[in-house]
Structure 1
Amino acid sequence: MRIATFNVNGVNGRLPLLLEWLEETRPDVACLQELKAPDDKFPAAAIEKAGYGVIWHGQPRWNGVAMLARGCEPVETRRGLPDDPDPAQSRYLEAAVSGVLIGCLYLPNGNPQPGPKFDYKLAWMDRFHAHAQTLIGLDCPVVLAGDYNVIPTDADVYKPERWRDDALMQPESREAFFRLLDQGWTDSLRHLHPDETIYTFWDYWRNAWARNAGLRIDHLLLNPRAAPLLQAAGVDRETRAKEGASDHAPTWIELDL
């Protein structure tokens, strides 16, 4: 089973590119973030025509998450986090697909910091941490996939000194990410590629893509039932190279079920 996460940065504006990626790579599950579309404007018909069942949790102008499953319907188990610090923001969707429980998340950016946006980021991470604790020991594979808006280590960013003041690299953000791993979650890309330079996001500014001045902020975490099934993990970099692309590239894993 190939499970991908992809911050599309506007699902309607980049729908042709999304459909092209689905046709080229045929993921079994695709978790989308930053839809930037209310529920009634989500392009469900086009995605279903491409062969995917889909559920979504939209919001006008900002945020929004969706889960696509090839040839079947995701069975929704949760919409939003328990005790979400701001339930008006659409940031979490959870569903079962073919015996795998998958959480799709769009973690708050937190900039500028310090300030209320960074406080909200940390509060959201606390609630996510508490929910993840309830999933870690389930007797089924669990995958938490999405845009975490956290650069875990200096090895995950081009020129880390330029990001020291950014919310994505603050000690509190990193500590919250590693508290997840301490629960027993496996960072799938780092597990298979511990020493490689891997980026999943390249800013539109300063010719970042051409210079490979990227960040690794899109992650797929696996519980102890899923981790032994991990066969491959990677980034569809060629999608980022296309005209009009999102600033994120799809990131994926393959599980041997």
Structure 2
Amino acid sequence: MKIAAWNVNSLKVRLPQLLDFLATRRPDVVCLQETKVPDDAFPSVELSAAGYRAVFSGQKTYNGVAILSRSQATDVSVGIPGFGDEQKRVIAATVEGTRVVCVYCPNGQSPDSDKYFYKLAWFDALSLWLMEELARHPRLAVLGDFNIAPEDRDVHDPKAWEGSVHVSPRERERFQALLQLGLKDSFRLFEQPEKSFSWWDYRMMGFRRNHGLRIDHILLTDALAASCTSSTIDRDMRKLERPSDHAPVLAEIGV
């Protein structure tokens, strides 16, 4: 099974690129973030013609998540149970015996903002819920834009980013809390090139200069990690005209 996550930063704008990605990479499951379309505008017809079924939770202009799969997704749930939140950031479903959780985690803005404390509370709620999900689903993957660079090697210039969101100690503690539940960062299961990132700012030639962060992740339970054969970042999609500022991340898992 090939699974992927991609913050498309507007599904309306990026739909042709997504269709090309589906046709050339042929993933079995794709988790999308920042779709930025209400449910009645989701392009189900176009995706169905490409061979993918979709479950989704969206809103206009902001946020929005979706899971695309070749086979029918079941047991779909939206949001974090018990955490009141109007922002569409989480959708989960079971695909071919694997529980897939798609997340678009809050940005946090700055460590002195209300949005930062919302981010911390959101991650705490996510951890509590995932603990319950893990008890029911030994084959579980959490994919998406986490808006956290877990280590300094996931940051192009740690000194320049010191004190900023994405790299603050409290955010990294929340990421480690997810791993302590029994999840593994699939990218770090393998030797990887130095300076491997999944997001680059549109400004200041961020991509051309490789001034990026690795904030998009695929986390796997032990049962999935044991048969994971690769975990990569697809930089080619970031090279296109009018790209998302994020590149897709992919992992391949054996049967």
Gaps of 5+ in 2: none
Preserved CA contact (<8 Å) 2:3 2:250: yes
TM-score scaled by length of structure 2: 0.96
Deviation per CA, 1:3-37: give whole Å up to 9, x if none: 00000000011111111111110100000000111
Q: Distance in 1 between matches of 2:161 and 2:73?
A: 37
Could you tell me how far apart the structure 1 residues matched to 2:232 and 2:118 are?
30
Structure 2 counterpart SS, 1:152: coil
Task: Please state if 1:84 is matched with 2:83.
Answer: yes
Partner residue in 1 for 2:6: 6
8 Å Cα contact 2:198/2:215 also seen in 1: yes
Per the alignment, residue 227 of structure 2 pairs with: 229
Distance 1:195 1:15 in 2: 29
Letter in 2 for 1:84: F
Q: In structure 1, what residue type is equivalent to 2:254? A: D
Against the structure 1 CA distance between its residues 169 and 85, is the aligned structure 2 distance closer, same or farther, given a 3 Å change threshold?
farther
**C-alpha deviations, 1:185-222, integer Å up to 9, x for none?**
10000121367432111110110111111110001111
1:35 match: secondary structure: coil
The 5-angstrom pairing of residues 150-229 of structure 1 reads 150-193=148-191, 196-229=194-227
What is the number of equivalent residue pairs in this alignment?
255
- Which amino acid in structure 2 is aligned with residue 237 of structure 1? R
Deviations 1:83-103 (A, max 9, x none): 2242x1000000011111100
Question: In 2, Cα distance between the equivalents of 1:85 and 1:193?
Answer: 40
Structure 1 residue 113, shift from structure 2 partner: 2.5
Aligned partners of 1:40 and 1:138: how far apart in 2? 32
Q: What per-residue deviation string (whole Å, max 9, x for no partner) do you get for residues 202-254 of structure 1? A: 11011011111111000111112211111111011101001111000010100
Identity %: 40
Give me the whole-angstrom Cα distance separating, in 2, the residues matched to 1:246 and 1:139: 32
Residue of structure 2 equivalent to 1:99: 97
RMSD of aligned Cα (Å): 1.3
TM superposition outliers: structure 1 runs of 4+ over 6 Å: none
Whether the 8 Å contact between 1:37 and 1:61 is mirrored in structure 2 is yes
What 5-or-longer segments of structure 1 have no aligned partner?
Answer: none
User: For the residues of structure 1 that align with 2:21 and 2:241, how far apart are their CA atoms?
Assistant: 13
Structure 1: which amino acid aligns with 2:81?
P
1:130 corresponds in structure 2 to 128
Distance 1:139 1:57, change over 3 A: closer
Q: Deviations over 1:14-65 (max 9, x none)?
A: 1111111111101000000001111111111111111101010001110000
Q: Please say if residues 64 and 91 of structure 1, whose CA atoms lie closer than 8 Å, have aligned partners that are also in contact.
A: yes
* Structure 1 residue 104, shift from structure 2 partner: 0.2
CA distance in 2, matches of 1:254, 1:84: 32
Q: Give the AA of the match of 2:124.
A: D
Q: Which residue of 1 aligns with 2:109?
A: 111
1:47 aligns with 2:47: yes
1:139/1:225 contact within 8 Å kept: no
Report SS of the residue matched to 1:61.
Answer: coil
Provide the rounded CA distance (Å) in 1 between the counterparts of 2:135 and 2:75.
19
Please name the residue that 2:140 is paired with. 142
Q: Quick check: 134-143 or 31-40, which moved more?
A: 134-143
1:185 and 1:140 mapped to 2: Cα distance?
10
Please give the alpha-carbon distance, in whole angstroms, between the structure 2 residues aligned to 1:208 and 1:94: 32
TM-score (norm 1): 0.96
Distance across 1 between alignment mates of 2:191 and 2:56: 31
Amino acid in the other structure paired with 1:40: D
Change over 3 Å in CA distance of 1:194–1:211 after alignment to 2: closer
Q: Could you tell me how far apart the structure 2 residues matched to 1:163 and 1:84 are?
A: 30
After TM superposition, the structure 1 stretch with the greater mean CA deviation from structure 2, 55-64 or 186-195, is 186-195
Pairwise mapping of residues 47-66 of structure 1 onto structure 2 (< 5 A)?
47-66=47-66
Question: Is the contact between residue 157 and residue 216 of structure 1 (CA under 8 Å) also seen in structure 2?
Answer: yes
Q: CA–CA distance in 2 between the matches of 1:188 and 1:143?
A: 10
**Aligned-pair CA distance for 1:160:** 1.3
Q: Deviation digits for residues 106-132 of structure 1, max 9, x if unmatched?
A: 000000331210011001000001011
